[in-house]
Structure 1
Amino acid sequence: MLDATQTDAVALGAAVVAVLALVVAVGAQLRLGRVRRGLRVLRGSSGEGDVLEVATRHAAEVSLLRDQVERQQAELDAIRSDVAASLRHVAVVRFDAFGDMGGRLSFSAALLDDAGDGLVLTSIHGRGETRTYAKGLAGGGSEHALSPEEQQAVRAASAGEGQR
């Protein structure tokens, strides 16, 4: 048999254990509530489906977008190639071909692509006639001799300076 002091100690110990058990139970209940809320989100209470369905759908969308980006990149590369080969660098140099005529009615026009390939057109205006010449260009040069005005037009077109 226990005396009164021992009984009080056992009762006090039991009370402390009971309070600790109650604290642990309340903490567990709070954690369980948080887990249930998280599970509700994972199950897709918003109507989108559960996380696995949403992730699978997003992975498929990302794969589709990746394919579209690759196709767009291929198209962009083809367009860049076309643009580089187009005659888009143009310059015109006007000049007086003959000392007795003014007005700068003669001209040389250079039309080049990005590689310096293209042509130079020269029109020489005289009193009785106008003559026009075309010379092919490769890499900014020609197999035919270029006049100073034609060279100036080629340099201006290469530099993107346009009309002079």
Structure 2
Amino acid sequence: MFEEYLGISTDYVVIGMAAVILLLIILMIINVVQMSKLKKRYAIFMSGKNAKSLEDTLVYRLEQVDELIENNAANERNIDALFKRMKFGFQKYGLIKYDAFQEMGGKLSFSLAMLNEKNDGFVLNAVHSREGCYTYVKEIIDGNSIITLAEEEQQALDAALESNK
């Protein structure tokens, strides 16, 4: 009948149908193997747990994520507050030790410059002599002093200005 209408032998039709059936059987076997693997993975995933305990685990993990987000926000606020406070703390230091008098040894006198981020602060000068120790403080504004600085005080100030570069 096919030969009359289509010019195709029935043998070719039967062989074609057998090839299609063989292909479908192979696809079905592949599908069964994949389903078997999926069932094994699902069994491992669900082993020892019921739906309620799995839901509890997920809810617990989501609560942990929310807590981490809150803690991160609190940490960022604290870091911002610390950076604002640091601007006013002393961040730059310069220390020069020297002998104030020729007869004194050991470099017991010193000049200490302490500056904040804006180069505001002070220079502390301690002069040690046989009679005692005298300290002087000179205010520093924007890296400069209104009062003339001694050589050692200027060296301490310069060291402080260079310390944070």
Deviation at 1:150, TM superposition (A): 0.8
CA distance in 1, matches of 2:84, 2:129: 41
What aligned pairs does 1:1-150 form with structure 2 within 5 A after superposition?
16=18, 19=22, 22-37=25-40, 39-40=42-43, 44-45=46-47, 47=49, 53=55, 58-99=61-102, 101-103=103-105, 104-128=107-131, 130-150=133-153
Cα distance change on mapping 1:18 and 1:117 into 2, 3 Å: closer
SS in 1 for 2:136: strand
Q: CA deviation at 1:125?
A: 3.4
Large movers: runs of 4+ above 6 Å? none
| Secondary structure class of the residue paired with 1:114 | coil
The one-character-per-residue Cα deviations of 1:39-67 (angstroms, maximum 9, x if unpaired) are 546x73363859x9466654543333222
* TM superposition score normalised by structure 1: 0.65
Give the whole-Å Cα distance in 2 for the aligned partners of 1:24 and 1:128.
106
Q: Give the TM-score normalised by structure 2.
A: 0.65
Instruction: Give the 3 Å change call, closer, same or farther, for CA 31–151 of structure 1 in structure 2.
Output: same
Asked whether 1:152 is paired with 2:152, we answer: no
Q: Is the Cα–Cα contact under 8 Å of residues 104 and 129 in structure 2 kept in the other structure?
A: no
CA distance in 1, matches of 2:68, 2:50: 20
Give SS of 1:85's match.
coil
Residues 47 and 142 of structure 1: CA distance in aligned 2, closer, same or farther (over 3 Å) = farther
The percentage of counterpart residues that share the same residue type is 26
Alignment partners' CA distance in 2, 1:48 and 1:88? 59
Partner amino acid, structure 1, of 2:100: A
Structure 1: which 5+ runs fail to align?
1-7
Task: State the Cα distance separating 1:102 from its structure 2 match.
Answer: 3.2
Q: What is the rounded CA distance, in whole Å, between the counterparts of 1:98 and 1:82 in structure 2?
A: 40
Structure-2 change in CA distance of 1:29 and 1:142 (3 Å): same
Q: CA deviation at 1:152?
A: 0.5
Alpha-carbon distance in 1 for matches of 2:34, 2:155: 82
